[in-house]
């Protein structure tokens, strides 16, 4: 049995009382008790094995689909970006992507390797781990349509290779084994023209820039599209474009985005989310469901 004295040293970066505003695309969020950025997968396995069995764990990629409340996060935050970001070309058109790799980087890697089908990933402003956790999508494509296998890690550092049929996958929803987190995925792609794939990525990014508020901090789409409709259309029809609470604003460019005008609090953003839900419910009879994940504690007054 390995003892504390015989364990190899941790090689990652551990911070305490770390402001989550530095790790979210909205640029808001209170402090996490602890943040760990692992050096690689083996380092992360070792780190998890050192934690108490009931330690709360929160995994944060690029923080692009995340609202951390102003009171911060209790427990430990795992930051896989930069440590679990390896990309590997496998046989028969497969790519192994670490959970910390950005989706845009996966799209470019696949295109350069002459593989097609992953171009839409360039429009997802997050990591592979986050995209797997919520079945993220863009431009009509969804992450799990590409998945052949995933690798997960449990809270004791145990590694598991799991098939797609071990998960319940739906629109912006994924359910699988409890207390396991994604650390990598094998994506099944198709051979194709590299130049054409890179050109499609450029066109998709230009389309995104033209239709979305990319110059202000946001989380991407705030609400899921209801069946047979679009959240942005409903919000705009309710006259909510430009609506503000504090320094948070419903984007005037795309109604399903809430932007930080500079100095917004997480409380401002969450209050605006609730207000939009209430107005759409009152005017359209539809309760919009959030796509963004809201975590953490309210700030104590």
Catalytic site residue from 119, 142, 243, 291: 291
Catalytic site residue 265?
Answer: no
Q: How far is CA 207 from the centre of its chain?
A: 21
Four-CA torsion 224, 213, 66, 244, nearest 10 degrees: -90
H runs (alpha helix) in the chain: 41-49, 103-112, 128-134, 194-211, 231-237, 266-284
3-state SS, residue 120: helix
Report residue 240 as tokens: 């909510």
Catalytic site residue from 218, 221, 251, 265: 221
DSSP state of 275: H
CB 51 within 8 A of CB 155: yes
Task: Name 102's bridge partners.
Answer: 127
Catalytic site residue from 96, 172, 198, 224: 172
Q: For residue 85, give the nearest of 66, 107, 112, 103 by alpha carbon.
A: 103
Catalytic site residue 108?
Answer: no
Catalytic site residue 172?
Answer: yes
H runs (alpha helix) in 26-127: 41-49, 103-112
- Cβ burial of 21 (10 Å; 0-12, 13-18, 19+) is buried
Report residue 38 as tokens: 């692992």
**Which residues carry out catalysis?**
172, 221, 291
């Amino acid at each position: 049995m390995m003892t504390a004295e015989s364990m190899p040293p941790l090689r990652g970066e551990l911070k305490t009382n770390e402001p989550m505003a530095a790790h979210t695309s909205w640029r808001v969020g209170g402090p996490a008790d602890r943040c760990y950025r692992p050096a690689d997968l083996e380092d992360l396995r070792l780190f998890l094995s050192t934690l108490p069995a009931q330690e709360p764990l929160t995994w944060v990629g690029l923080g692009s689909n995340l609202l951390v409340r102003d009171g911060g996060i209790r427990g430990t935050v795992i930051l896989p970006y930069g440590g679990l970001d390896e990309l590997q070309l496998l046989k028969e058109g497969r790519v192994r992507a670490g959970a910390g790799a950005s989706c845009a980087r996966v799209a470019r890697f696949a295109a350069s390797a002459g593989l097609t089908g992953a171009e839409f990933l360039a429009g997802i402003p997050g990591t592979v781990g986050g995209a797997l956790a919520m079945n993220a999508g863009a431009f009509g494509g969804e992450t799990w349509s590409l998945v052949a296998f995933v690798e997960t890690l449990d809270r004791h550092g145990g590694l598991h290779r799991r098939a797609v049929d071990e998960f319940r996958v739906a629109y912006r929803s994924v359910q699988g084994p409890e207390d396991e987190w994604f650390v990598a995925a094998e994506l099944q792609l198709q051979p194709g023209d590299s130049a054409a794939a890179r050109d499609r990525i450029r066109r998709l990014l230009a389309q995104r820039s033209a239709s979305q508020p990319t110059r202000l901090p946001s989380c991407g789409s705030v609400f899921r599209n209801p069946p047979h409709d679009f959240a942005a259309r409903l919000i705009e029809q309710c006259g909510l474009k430009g609506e503000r609470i504090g320094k948070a604003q419903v984007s005037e460019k795309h109604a399903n985005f809430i932007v930080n005008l500079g100095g917004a609090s997480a409380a401002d953003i969450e209050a605006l989310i609730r207000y939009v839900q209430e107005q759409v419910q009152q005017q359209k009879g539809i309760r919009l469901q959030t796509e963004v994940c809201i975590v953490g504690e309210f700030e104590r007054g």
